[in-house]
């Protein structure tokens, strides 16, 4: 009941929050397909460094992006405790490799503040805004910007 009540309310957003490179991020729950454990990807040649490779997701070949590296942060530490958030972005399915999923947030649209001007250009391009919750600053990602851009892939 609760879920359906929120789903129809355009002012309420549900966000999946996660941690990587010591920072908190979140993305809209509607773009998340599933969350799964790490599995060893096959390397892709000529790929940008943040592309870890591809894995098999029930028959589909899905690229795995190291989110921290994608955002220009320290690369993720390799442990099999890392998780992959499988997200559907513009008709593509990609896996975002992060340290841990922390929470599901329910925030009103007014709870999302615009990205502060201080942020660097690269960071700001990837963010839609920030959410402050329990004295934590959670960055709302613009998933469409995360995809490898055409010039990245061609290399």
Partner 1 sequence: MAGPVDLKDIFFVEADELLSALEEGLRAIQTGAQEADTVNAVFRAVHSIKGGAGAFDLKALVGFAHRFETVLDALRAGQLQPEAALLGALLHASDHLADMISASRQGTNTDPELDERVIMALEAQAGGGGHKEEEAFVFEPLALDGPFGMEFSPMPLVSGRRSVMLTFRPHAGSFASGHDPALLMRDFCAEDEVEVDLDLSALPEAGNFDPGQSYLGWTVAMQTERSDKDLLAIFEFIEGSCDLTLVSDTSMAPAPSRDPPPPGGRSPATAPPPVAAPSVPASPKPPAVAPAAAVPPPPAGAASAAGPRPTIRVDIDRVDRLVDILGELVIHQAMLTEAIEQSPGFGSVEVDRSLDQLRQLSRQIQESVMAIRAQPVKPLFDRMHRIVREASMAAGKSARLVTEGEGTEVDKTIIERLADPLTHMIRNSVDHGLEKPARRDEIGKPNEGVIKLAAAHRSGRIVITVQDDGAGIDRDKVRLIAIEKGLISATAELSPQEIDALLFLPGFSTATEVSALSGRGVGMDVVRSEIAGLGGRVGIASVRGQGTTLTISLPLTLAVLDGMVFEAAGQTLVLPVSTIIETLRPEASMRHNLGQTDSVLDVRGRCLPLIDVGMALGFRRSLKPGEGEIVVVVERGDEGAIALMVDGIRDQRQVVIKGLEANYGQIPGIAAATVLGDGSVALILDPTDLAATGPIPARPVVSLAAE
Positions in the binding site for partner 1 (CB under 8 A):
39-47, 49, 51-56, 59-63, 66, 75, 78-80, 92-94, 148, 150, 153
**Nearest-approach distance from CB 20 to partner 1, in angstroms:** 15
Q: How far is the CB of 118 from partner 1 (least distance, A)?
A: 30
Cα separation, 81 vs 36, in Å, equals 10
Alpha-carbon distance of 148 to 92, in angstroms, equals 11
Angle at 145 between CA 140 and CA 146, to 5 degrees: 85
Q: Rank residues 15 and 50 by Cβ distance to partner 1 and give the closer one.
A: 50
DSSP H or E segment with residue 150: helix 150-154
* DSSP state letters, 104-125: EEEEEGGGEEPPPTTS-HHHHH
- Least distance to partner 1, CB of residue 63, Å: 5
By beta-carbon proximity to partner 1, the closer residue of 121 and 151 is 151
Dist CA 86 CA 81 (whole Å): 16
Residue 1 or 150 with smaller CB distance to partner 1: 150
Taking the complex as a whole, the smallest distance from the CB of residue 31 to partner 1 amounts, in Å, to 14
CB of 49 or CB of 122, closer to partner 1:
49
């Amino acid at each position: 009941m609760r879920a359906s009540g929120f789903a129809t309310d355009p002012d309420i957003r549900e966000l999946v929050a996660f941690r990587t490179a010591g920072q908190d991020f979140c993305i809209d729950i509607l773009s998340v397909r599933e969350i799964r454990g790490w599995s060893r990807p096959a390397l892709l040649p000529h790929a940008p460094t943040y592309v870890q490779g591809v894995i098999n997701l029930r028959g589909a070949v899905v690229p795995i992006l190291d989110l921290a590296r994608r955002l220009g942060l320290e690369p993720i530490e390799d442990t099999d405790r890392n998780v992959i958030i499988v997200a559907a972005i513009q008709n593509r399915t990609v896996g975002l490799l992060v340290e841990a999923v922390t929470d599901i947030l329910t925030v009103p649209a007014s709870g999302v503040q615009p990205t502060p001007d201080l942020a660097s250009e690269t960071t700001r391009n990837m963010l839609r805004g920030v959410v402050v919750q329990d004295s934590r600053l959670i960055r709302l990602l613009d998933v469409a910007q995360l995809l490898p851009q055409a010039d990245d892939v061609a290399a």
